[in-house]
């Protein structure tokens, strides 16, 4: 099957921005960023990347698939952890270089560290912030939903320095 | 002023993921993706990039600053259009390579095409989607908040094919 059949050619700016044909832009590495929010709460759960195959699989199965840059492989979210993401709505932005997934999460967590959302820390901001040293983050989630050591059983941590 | 003083060094995965020191990761181009949602509605408004200076300015002024890849310049959102974004909360993800801004938008729009959100079109998804040709997008916003020709007065469109 030629999975690229579902993607139209990018011909003009007007077509891409104002048209009704899916014509996504993949970057030099063949990737498009994907933003995933919780359908009910609107909370930002994670930010990842898709290649053409991951986008095709997300669209046609209704379950979130990404491309793992650390493993260089298709990543069916939840295949290891059971924490799958059911796509309720899939949107694309004006210049069609970013995907928005609105999902229901099985098991209630999307972060490999064990938290509900990957965004479990706040950065202080606003006038009056001291800029003479590293800023201190504040945790907004205080309990993990799962224990990553149990769920991933020693698989390598995807975080890179 | 050394704006990099607010960023800590990335020493270990545990420090980056579980610590409380801001230690963002900028990519090979010096950029970090930023996801911007409406504080009240939770709607995803836009996806853009920051360099270290844009992140510093966002943190210290409380107004969203990005780095424009098309113009290769700091982009104080709303400087031209008046549609500034006041940051109510600024978060960072597990491996500190993505920023989440929760904002109030002056003027009610964040998309250069004139819509409230850049994500004004839905991609069909789920089992049974026909995959023999380009998919048809459905518009979820039907009226523009502003006329880009009036607001941007002939400035080049940032969308690239």
The strand pair at A138-139 and B32-38 is best described as: unpaired
Mean pLDDT confidence for A38-67: 97
Cα–Cα distance, B131 to A60 (Å, whole number): 8
Asked whether the beta carbons of A142 and A121 are under 8 A apart, the reply is: no
Cα–Cα distance, B107 to B81 (Å, whole number): 9
- Asked if the model's pLDDT at residue A30 lies above 80, the reply is yes
A131 contact B CB<8A: yes
pLDDT of residue A117: 96
Cα–Cα distance, B91 to A65 (Å, whole number): 24
Helix, strand and coil content of chain A, in percent to the nearest 5, comes to 15, 30, 55
Instruction: Please give, rounded to a whole number of angstroms, the shortest distance from the CA of B118 to a CA of chain A.
Output: 5
- Asked if the model's pLDDT at residue A154 lies above 90, the reply is no
pLDDT of residue B154: 80
- Asked if the model's pLDDT at residue B146 lies above 80, the reply is yes
Q: Could you give the percent of chain A with pLDDT greater than 90? A: 84
Residue from A40, A134, A146, A158 to probe the interface with B (highest B Cβ count within 10 Å): A134
Cβ-defined contact of A10 to B161 (cutoff 8 Å): yes
Mean pLDDT confidence for A75-103: 96
Instruction: Please give, rounded to a whole number of angstroms, the shortest distance from the CA of A106 to a CA of chain B.
Output: 17
- Classify residue A121 as exposed, middle or buried by CB count within 10 Å of its CB (0-12, 13-18, 19+): buried
| φ/ψ of residue B59, rounded to 5 | -65, -45
A101: which strand partners?
A36, A90
pLDDT of residue B2: 82
Cβ-defined contact of A6 to B133 (cutoff 8 Å): yes
User: What count of Cα atoms within 13 Å lies in the side-chain half-sphere of residue A43?
Assistant: 20
User: What count of Cα atoms within 13 Å lies in the side-chain half-sphere of residue A148?
Assistant: 18
Q: Element (H or E) spanning B35, and its range?
A: strand B32-38
The SS3 of residue A157 is: coil
Residues 63-102 of B with CB under 8 A from A: 87, 89-95, 98-100
Residue A104: pLDDT band with limits 50, 70, 90: very high
This prediction's pTM: 0.95
Chain A residues whose CB is inside 8 A of the B8 CB are 134
Residue A2: pLDDT band with limits 50, 70, 90: confident
Residue B156: pLDDT band with limits 50, 70, 90: confident
C-beta atoms surrounding B19 within 10 Å: 16
Instruction: Please give, rounded to a whole number of angstroms, the shortest distance from the CA of A39 to a CA of chain B.
Output: 10
Cα–Cα distance, B107 to B85 (Å, whole number): 9
Residue A108: pLDDT band with limits 50, 70, 90: confident
C-beta atoms surrounding A14 within 10 Å: 10
Cα–Cα distance, B105 to B107 (Å, whole number): 6
User: What count of Cα atoms within 13 Å lies in the side-chain half-sphere of residue A70?
Assistant: 9
Chain A residues whose CB is inside 8 A of the B94 CB are 111-113, 115, 118, 120, 159
Mean pLDDT confidence for A71-83: 93
Cβ-defined contact of B124 to A59 (cutoff 8 Å): yes
Q: Tokens at residue A153, please?
A: 């059983």
Asked whether the beta carbons of A52 and A4 are under 8 A apart, the reply is: yes
B154 contact A CB<8A: no
Mean pLDDT confidence for A68-82: 93
DSSP result, A44-79: EEEEEEE-HHHHHHHHHHSB-EEEETTTTEEEETTT
Residue A48: pLDDT band with limits 50, 70, 90: very high
> Which residues contact residue B48 at a Cβ distance below 8 angstroms, ignoring those fewer than 6 apart?
B33, B34, B36, B66, B67, B75
A152 contact B CB<8A: no
- pLDDT 10s digits, B74-133: 999 999 889 999 999 999 999 999 999 999 999 888 999 999 999 999 999 998 899 999
Chain B residues whose CB is inside 8 A of the A149 CB are none
Average pLDDT of chain A to the nearest whole number? 94
Q: Element (H or E) spanning B85, and its range?
A: strand B85-92
- Asked if the model's pLDDT at residue B1 lies above 70, the reply is no
- DSSP state at residue B84: -
């Amino acid at each position: 099957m030629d999975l690229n059949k579902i993607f139209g050619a990018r011909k003009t700016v007007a077509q891409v921005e104002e048209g009704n044909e899916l014509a996504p832009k993949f970057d030099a590495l063949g990737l498009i960023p994907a933003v995933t929010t919780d359908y009910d709460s609107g909370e930002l759960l994670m930010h990842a990347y898709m290649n053409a195959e991951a986008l095709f699989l997300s669209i046609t199965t209704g379950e979130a698939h990404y491309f793992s840059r650390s493993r260089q492989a298709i990543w069916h979210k939840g295949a290891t952890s059971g924490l799958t993401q059911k796509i309720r709505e899939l949107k694309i932005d004006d210049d069609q270089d970013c995907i928005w997934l609105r999902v229901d999460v099985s098991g209630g967590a999307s972060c490999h560290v064990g938290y509900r959302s990957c965004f479990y820390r706040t950065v202080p901001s606003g006038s009056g912030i001291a800029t003479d040293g590293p800023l201190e983050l504040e945790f907004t989630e205080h309990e993990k939903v799962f224990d990553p050591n149990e769920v991933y059983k020693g698989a390598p941590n995807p975080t890179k320095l």
